[in-house]
Structure formats: C-alpha cells, structure tokens
Structure 1
C-alpha cells in the first residue's frame, strides 16, 4: 500500500493546495519530504508572517491556502495572525507537526500537549487523528471544514504517521467532493423581496464578504436599484463598494450610538455579508433608531446567531443578491457622477501629510492597483483621497491584529502576479511582520511598500483621548530606519524627501520588491 504521506500529497494536489506557506521544524520534515513536482514551498521567517502571507494569498486568489506550522511553539506564534484570518473568514488549512506517537504521552521535547485545545476556540475546527490510518480522512475533513465554514481549520499530525502504510480505504479520499448551496427557499425569497420592495427609505450595509465572493459589481447594481445610501460595515477588511460612488457614505461608525445615529431616518437596513455589527469603541446607546427594521443576510451562522438586534437569513449573499436583482429589476442606466476627490491637506513642516501620500498613490499608481493597508491612524486621510472602483482593491487586518500588512501584501502579490500591489504600512505595525520582506526578496515578488513613519503608535494617541488616558507610556517609536532594515533583508529601499520625489518613485517600473519610507505628520483615524 502507498504511504499516508503519498495519499496526502495526492489529495492536496487534487484539491489545488500546492502552495505551502511555512516555517519548518523537525516534526514537519517527514510531511515535507518528497513533495511532488508542481508544489511550491513559501518560506517565512516567523509563523506570524507565514499565516499573514497565506491569509493574503487565500483572500486574493479566492482559494484555500495550506499552512505548515511547527508543533506548539510555531502554532502559538501563529495565533495572533490567525485572529485576522478568522475575522476575514479566510479558508486556511493549518497543518502542525506533532511528536512521534510513542513520545506524546511522556511529553517528550517538542510535544504539543493536547494540540487541538491550543487552537480552540479560535479556529473553526481542530483535531489530531486517532491513528495513522485516519490521517488521509482527517486531512480531507480539514480541507472541507475550511471551505464550508470559511475559516482556518487545524490538524496536528504525529510525524511518524506520514511514513506509515495507508489502509485499503485511504485512496477513496482522493475522489471526495463536498459542496454547499445556500439559496433561500421560495417563501423566504418572497418575504425578503417584499420587505425590500416595500421600504420607503432603505439603506444598505455591505461587508467584506461581498468583495470576497465576487459580488462587487452586483452590489452596485442593487444599490442603484434601491437608490438609498450605502455603508461599508464597521471594521471593514475588504472594500465592497466603490468608495467615490455617489451613494457611498463611507464606513459605518464602529460604536453603537454613532452607528444608530448614522442609520436614522431609514425604515429598512439590509446588511449583506457582514456581522451586525463589529463595534470597536464602546459608545453605548440604542442599537437601531425607533421604527427601523434590520435584515441581515450572511453565510456565517455564528454572526447570525450572536447579532444583538434584527432578523437574520443564513444564506448565500450571492443567491440573495441575484434574487433581489431579479425581483426588483435593475436600472436602465448606471449611476454616473462619481464624487470628486478633494485637494489633499498639507503641512508646513518637513513631514508630508498622509493625504499627500495617498493622493500621489491615486494619481501615479494604475487604477487596478490592490492596496494592503495597515496604517490605522491615517484611516480618515485614506478614505478622503482614494478612488477605488474595482474588486479586490483593498485589504485590511480583519481583527485589527497588527502584523498582517507586510505578509498580507506579499501573499496578495503572489496570488495576483499580473496586478500591481502596494502595501501601505505604518511604522508601528511594520515591526510585527517585518520578516516578510525576506520572503519578498527571495521570491522577487513585484511589490511596493510605502512605509509611513510618524514615530509613534498614532491610533493609540487618538484612542487615549477617547478613554481619557493622555499619559500612557510606550507609545513613541523613535530611531527606526526601515530603509536599512529592508536592505538587510535584501529589499531595495529609499527615504523619500518630498511629494515630487514620491511621485517620481511611484512612476518607476516595478520588477521586484521595494520599500519607500516617507516621514508623515501625525493624524487621527477619524
């Protein structure tokens, strides 16, 4: 009989999981031995960067990504990055090496004691096979759990399992196929379409799932048919709607009271592909204005169950969007008159205003550029200056866990090699995923990193004001020069001295990774 490893490799190949993001340890070597031709191993120097790259790759490619971690230490290092993948509902198949089976009970060195428990409740599914012959089936379950539940699934495998003989039933796993369909029933569809058609002042709130599921343009058609305002859901990690469209009102505030105030005057709020809601600042109040009905449509069972208000339909947002477009009809002509971009704010000192940086990106970068953004303190400047009209244009750490930006940008660039990719990274967050620069250099990933250096954790200064904590220590970051750090990892880098130099640099051709460090003035997220 073939080995467990051979069956596993053949199954992964049939499932299209041939790119492995990892940082290997001794427990993982038996799985990695003899990878078939066509497999690619993407080495990251820290597990947080490994998961961040896989997260960006899976989001940009629309397919699950395979991650290889090292026992307990590597799995623990990855937990912070996994929070973003969980919140973004990114399908990741996370394999971790375990000690040999006879060594687990005595807790030999590099044993992951109760490996599934380490990852719960963060991942959507976690297991360790009961015996070597169960590995192929368990691996298949991990892949299907990640796809069906839309999140990271975790499997710990003792390293001696990979060389064991598979049993006669193992090859059956190669033919497995698991699919899901989530269209609403006829009566559910009639009720939903009737509620939307009867609304006098409907509003749309769209989540990152709209972009992830390829519904960007359909969302525009639906919004134009309804004619009401559109918000992106709070803490949005993908842009679900063109941000300068005349119906777009921006990102819904991430506090209970201001979100309620924003939705005042609407008799129906239709939420597609988002939780209700991912609040951040604790600003209590009513969840909804008096007389406002909320209907949520999501595939995420947990998001539907935990919402504090409104009705929920657990269904495929794509099927529901098509149903509504058919039931309501679509406008004869699209809406024109996209809102103009205001002139960027400036500063009197040597530092650039972030709006000047973003204006340069908007005007010098191709219109189809994909931006991976991890610079929280510049949020308001970003949305004032950018004009994003294409799907897959925006990626942000979904749970707010720092360290996604640089690795995520590498992953997006690997998944979309024909599309320009720019990482817009703050100096505070850059330190969490800086090792991704080495991977970008080794693979010659075409990527521009615009490093915004303001010398502080800018968002925390703003949050300190909200919380009445003006004197917290540890918020400043003097003395960091990312040009020298980047060059040490093999990435060409330069310090930008002004707007003209930035524009000239952005207009240069990109044939590998590069880093542009720009000193910026401190701004606030809102």
Structure 2
C-alpha cells in the first residue's frame, strides 16, 4: 500500500505544486525523503527569507506554494515575513514537522506544543492530522483553504506519519478539486451601474487585488471609458494602474483626515479590489468628505465585513468592471496625451538623490521590468520618477514588515523567469532578508539588487518628527558595506559613486544575481 508521503507527493504533483521553499530540520526530513524528480527544493538560510521568497513566487505565478518549516522554532522565525503574505493575500501552504506522536504530550525536544495555535491569528486555517490516515486529506484542506481564502495556511504533521501505509480511502484525495466563484446578483449590478452613471463627479480607487487578478488592463479601459480620475488605495503592495497615465492622481495618504481631504468634491467613491482603507499614520478627520458615498467591491469577505463606512459588495471585481463597461456609454475624453512625462529628477548637495537613481532605472531597464521596492523613506521620490505601465510591475511589503524585498525578488524571478527583476532596497531594510543573496547565488537567479545606502532608518526618522519624538536612539546605522556582504554570499557586487557610473552598471545585462550599492541623500516618505 502507498505511504502517506507518496500520496501527498502525488497530490502536490497533480496540482503543479512542485517547487518547495524551505529550511528543513530533523522533523521535516521524512516528508522530503523520496521526493520525485519533478520537484525542486529551494533552500533558504533563514525561515523569514524562505517565506519571503515563497510570497514573491506566489505573487508572480498566482498559484499556491508549499513552504517547509522546522517545527515551532522555524515557524516562529517565519512569522514576521508571514504578515506580509497575509496582507498580500498570497496562498502559501506552510507545513511544519512535528515530533513523533508519542513524544508530543511529554514535550520532547522539537515538539510543537499546541501547533494549531502557534500561527494564529495570522493564518486563515491551521491544522494537525488526528491520525496518520488523515494526513493526505489535511494537506489537501490546507491547499484548498489557501486558495479559497487567499490567505496562508499552516499544517503541522508528526514525522512518524509519513511512513504510514494507507488504504483506499486516502487515495480519493488525489481526485479532489475545489473552485471559487463570486458572481454578483443582477440587482446589485443594476444598482451600482445606475449610481456610477448618475454621479456628478465619481472617482475610482483601486487596490492591489486588481493587479493580482490580472485586471490592470481592464481597469485602465474602465477609467478611460468613463473618464474617471484614479487614485490607488493607501499602502499599495502592487500597482493596479499605470502611474504616468493622464487619469492617475497618485497614491492616497494613509491617514483618515488626509485621505478624506484628497477625495473632497467627489460624490461617489468606487473602490475596487482594496480594503477600506489600510490606514497607517493617525490623522484624525471624517472617514469621507461631505456629500460623498462610498461603494466597495472586493472578493475579500473579511475586508468587506471590517470596513468602517460605505456599502460593500463581495464579488469578483472583474465581473463588475465588465458590467460597467457594457452598460454605461463612453464619455468623451478630448484630445490629450495618454501618458504624461516624468518630472526632472531632484538633485542633492551630497550623494545621489533617490530621484536620480529611480530616473536612471527608468531610462536603462526594459519596460516590462518587475520592481520589488522596500525603501520606505523614498516612496515619494519613487512615484515621481517611476513609469510603470504593465501588470506585475511593482511589489511592496503588504504589511510593512521589513525583510520582504530581497527574498521576494528572488522568488519572483524564479516564478516568472521571462521578466527582468530589480530589487530597490534601503540599507535598513536589506539586513532583514540578507540571506536571500545566498539563494540567489546558489541557484543563479538573475536579479539586480540596488541598495540605497543613507546610513539611517529614514522612515523612522520621519515618524519621529510626526510623533514629536525627534531625539530617540536607534535611527542611525553607519558602517554597512553591502558589497562585501554580497560577495561573501557569492553575489558579484559593485559601488556606483556617481550617476554616469550607475547608469553604466545598470545598462549591463544581468545573467545572474548582482548587487549595486549607491550612496543616497536622506529623504522622507512625505
């Protein structure tokens, strides 16, 4: 009879989940034994980097990804990175080895005590099989829960279960399939269509889920069809609309009062594929400007339920976009250019201004480049100089947790090798996921890592001013040399001292990982 391990391997193979990201320990070895040749195991040197790589891979491919962690210790190491995967709604399936069953109650070394509670409330579902015969079904549930909820799941498996021989009932798991569809009712579509058609000054607010679902081109079509100004919801983890499009108005601020001020004058605020709203800084004020109505369309039932204002429709945003395109007549656009040019980049008295770096990237990299950005103090400079027009062009840590950028870039390059990947990382952020450089070097992943070195936690300094605490310690990080660190991990690295040198280095094709360190002027997020 087949073992639990063989059945699970075949289930994963049938579903195309043959790339596993992990950092194994003793409890995990029985699962990894006899791994079929079609599988690829991607080793990371720290569980935070492992989850970051898997998050990037899942966002690049749009498919669930298996992550293999070591018991409670490895799971704990992964939790910081897991927060980003939760808010990017990445379907990660986290598995962790558990001690043999008879040793769990006695809390033997490496026993995962109350394993199902460890990763909550971050994961959408957590389980541990009641017996060896339930391992295949439990793993299948973890996969389906991740797909249905669009949220990571967690499964702890006692390692003596993998060798158990199972009967026919376990084999039926191989033929399981679960689908999800959210089609809005005709009455809801009719009501929304009438509201948009009759609004005097409607505005469109888009979230990262639009890009996740591949709806960026349709969102552009809708905005142009109805001549709607477009804002991106605050703290975007993906870009759902081209940022140099004539209808693009920018990224909404992450404070209640400031956001409301930006939307003043609009009578209908249509939010597609975003929570309402992911605030950050505490800026008091009304949720909505006077006279405005908000309608949210999202397939995330939790986001709809927790929204503090407006009306929410839990449905596929793509279906709603199609309905609005088909039911409302096009509005005249006039003769205007579709895209607007970038401003001249700002300069600085010392070192390069981040805008100069971003302008150099725009001018030297291919139009379809994927950018993974984790430099929070330079986001205003980024949006002034970036020119992103394609789907899957921009990724950012969805929960604001540092350590996403370096590993996520590696995972994205593995998941979509046909597109060049550039990681734009601050020197403060880089330290959190630095071990991903080894994985990039070991597997020859062609990523360009651009490290912006200003010797400071720039965003933290900005928050110090915002909170009236400008004199706190721990905001300076001098003395870091990422070229030497990168070379130690096996990644070729150079320093660009000026703009001509930076442009020359960026123009060279990347046939493997490379790191370019640039000293930059300290800016603030604005």
Q: TM-score normalised to the size of structure 1?
A: 0.99
For 1:452-483, what per-residue CA distance to the aligned partner results, in whole angstroms no more than 9, with x for missing partners?
A: 00000000111110000010101100110000
2:156 aligns to what?
A: 156
1:7 aligns to what?
A: 7
User: Aligned to 1:157, what secondary structure does the other structure show?
Assistant: strand
1:514 aligns to what?
A: 514
User: Aligned to 2:508, what secondary structure does the other structure show?
Assistant: coil
1:214 aligns to what?
A: 214
1:105 aligns to what?
A: 105
1:343 aligns to what?
A: 344
Give the stretch that moved more between structures: 125-134 or 329-338. 329-338
1:269 aligns to what?
A: 269
Spell out the pairing of 1:242-253 with structure 2 (5 A cutoff): 242-253=242-253
The answer to whether the 8 Å contact 2:226/2:330 transfers is: no
The answer to whether the 8 Å contact 1:18/1:38 transfers is: yes
Spell out the pairing of 1:115-194 with structure 2 (5 A cutoff): 115-194=115-194
Spell out the pairing of 1:278-293 with structure 2 (5 A cutoff): 278-293=278-293
1:484 aligns to what?
A: 484
For 1:321-349, what per-residue CA distance to the aligned partner results, in whole angstroms no more than 9, with x for missing partners?
A: 11211112456989733111011011122
Q: Structure 1 runs of 4+ off > 6 angstroms? A: 331-335
Distance in structure 1 (CA, Å) of the matches to 2:215 and 2:370: 17
User: Aligned to 1:93, what secondary structure does the other structure show?
Assistant: strand
Asked whether 1:36 is paired with 2:29, we answer no
Q: Which runs of 5+ in 2 are unaligned?
A: none
Distance in structure 2 (CA, Å) of the matches to 1:44 and 1:402: 17
2:456 aligns to what?
A: 456
Distance in structure 1 (CA, Å) of the matches to 2:201 and 2:329: 17
Distance in structure 1 (CA, Å) of the matches to 2:338 and 2:58: 34
Q: Which runs of 5+ in 1 are unaligned?
A: none
Asked whether 1:399 is paired with 2:407, we answer no
Distance in structure 2 (CA, Å) of the matches to 1:193 and 1:183: 15
Distance in structure 2 (CA, Å) of the matches to 1:243 and 1:192: 26
Distance in structure 2 (CA, Å) of the matches to 1:347 and 1:291: 43
1:198 aligns to what?
A: 198
The answer to whether the 8 Å contact 1:221/1:330 transfers is: no
Distance in structure 1 (CA, Å) of the matches to 2:299 and 2:266: 25
The answer to whether the 8 Å contact 1:100/1:159 transfers is: yes
The answer to whether the 8 Å contact 2:229/2:247 transfers is: yes
Distance in structure 1 (CA, Å) of the matches to 2:227 and 2:253: 21
1:304 aligns to what?
A: 304
Give the stretch that moved more between structures: 219-228 or 35-44. 219-228
The answer to whether the 8 Å contact 1:224/1:335 transfers is: no
Spell out the pairing of 1:413-452 with structure 2 (5 A cutoff): 413-452=413-452
1:358 aligns to what?
A: 358
2:327 aligns to what?
A: 327
The answer to whether the 8 Å contact 2:226/2:331 transfers is: no
Distance in structure 1 (CA, Å) of the matches to 2:91 and 2:271: 22
1:377 aligns to what?
A: 377
How far residue 200 of structure 1 moved from its aligned partner, in angstroms, is 1.2
RMSD (Å) for aligned C-alpha atoms: 1.1
User: Aligned to 2:168, what secondary structure does the other structure show?
Assistant: coil
Distance in structure 1 (CA, Å) of the matches to 2:516 and 2:412: 19
1:412 aligns to what?
A: 412
How far residue 112 of structure 1 moved from its aligned partner, in angstroms, is 0.5
How far residue 508 of structure 1 moved from its aligned partner, in angstroms, is 0.4
Q: TM-score normalised to the size of structure 2?
A: 0.99
The answer to whether the 8 Å contact 1:221/1:331 transfers is: no
Give the stretch that moved more between structures: 326-335 or 132-141. 326-335
User: Aligned to 1:313, what secondary structure does the other structure show?
Assistant: strand
User: Aligned to 2:432, what secondary structure does the other structure show?
Assistant: coil
